[in-house]
Amino acid sequence: MIKVNENIRFLRKKKGWTQEMFSKKIGIKRSLVGAYEEGRSDPRLNNLLKMCELFDISLDNILKKDVSSLSLKDYKKNDNQKLKVLSITVDKIGNENIELINQKASAGYLNSYSDFEFIEQLPKFQLPFLNFSGTHRAFEIKGDSMLPLTSGTIVIGKYIESLDYVKDGKNYILLTKNDGIVYKRVEVLENELKLISDNKIYEPYMVNNNDIIEIWQGIAFFSIDFPNPDNDLNFLKKHINTLYSDINDIKNKL
Q: What is the pTM of this model?
A: 0.62
132/183 same-domain check: yes
At 212 the pLDDT is 92
Beta strand spans in the chain (E): 98-101, 124-125, 136-140, 154-159, 171-176, 180-189, 192-196, 205-208, 212-222
215/133 same-domain check: yes
Nearest-5° angle of CA 9, CA 10, CA 11?
A: 95
C-alpha to C-alpha distance for 94 and 225, rounded to whole angstroms: 34
At 96 the pLDDT is 85
C-alpha to C-alpha distance for 137 and 47, rounded to whole angstroms: 18
76/136 same-domain check: no
**Beta-carbon contacts of residue 209 (< 8 Å; ≥ 6 apart):** 163, 191, 192, 193
We report the CATH number of the domain holding residue 29 as 1.10.260.40
110/203 same-domain check: yes
Element counts in the chain: helices (H) and strands (E): 9, 9
Strands 136-140 and 98-101: parallel
Q: Which DSSP string corresponds to 49-115? A: HHHHHHHTB-HHHHHHS-GGGS-HHHHB--GGG--------B-TTSPBPEEEE-HHHHHHHHHHTT-
Residue 92 lies in a domain: no
Nearest to 54 by CA among 103, 107, 115, 4: 115
C-alpha to C-alpha distance for 24 and 28, rounded to whole angstroms: 6
Residue 238 lies in a domain: no
**Beta-carbon contacts of residue 50 (< 8 Å; ≥ 6 apart):** 25, 26, 27, 85, 87, 116
Each residue's pLDDT expressed in tens, for the chain with a length of 254 residues: 468 899 999 999 999 999 999 999 888 899 999 999 998 988 887 788 888 888 888 877 888 888 888 876 666 654 444 445 577 888 877 788 899 999 999 989 988 888 888 998 999 998 877 666 788 999 999 999 998 888 999 999 999 888 888 999 999 999 998 899 999 999 999 889 999 999 999 999 999 998 999 999 999 999 887 766 555 556 556 656 666 676 666 667 66
Overall number of domains in the chain? 2
C-alpha to C-alpha distance for 172 and 187, rounded to whole angstroms: 10
Domain residue limits at 12: 4-81
Burial class (CB in 10 A: 0-12, 13-18, 19+), 102: middle
117/212 same-domain check: yes
215/156 same-domain check: yes
165/206 same-domain check: yes
At 62 the pLDDT is 85
Nearest to 135 by CA among 160, 162, 109: 160
58/113 same-domain check: no
At 79 the pLDDT is 43
Cis before 148? omega within 30? yes
At 189 the pLDDT is 93
At 225, is the secondary structure helix, strand, or coil?
coil
At 135 the pLDDT is 87
At 66 the pLDDT is 87
Largest CA distance in the chain: 77
Residue 16 lies in a domain: yes
Residue 253 lies in a domain: no
Residue 64 lies in a domain: yes
Nearest to 140 by CA among 103, 194, 177: 103
**Beta-carbon contacts of residue 138 (< 8 Å; ≥ 6 apart):** 98, 99, 100, 101, 125, 154, 155, 156, 157
We report the CATH number of the domain holding residue 131 as 2.10.109.10
Residue 129 lies in a domain: yes
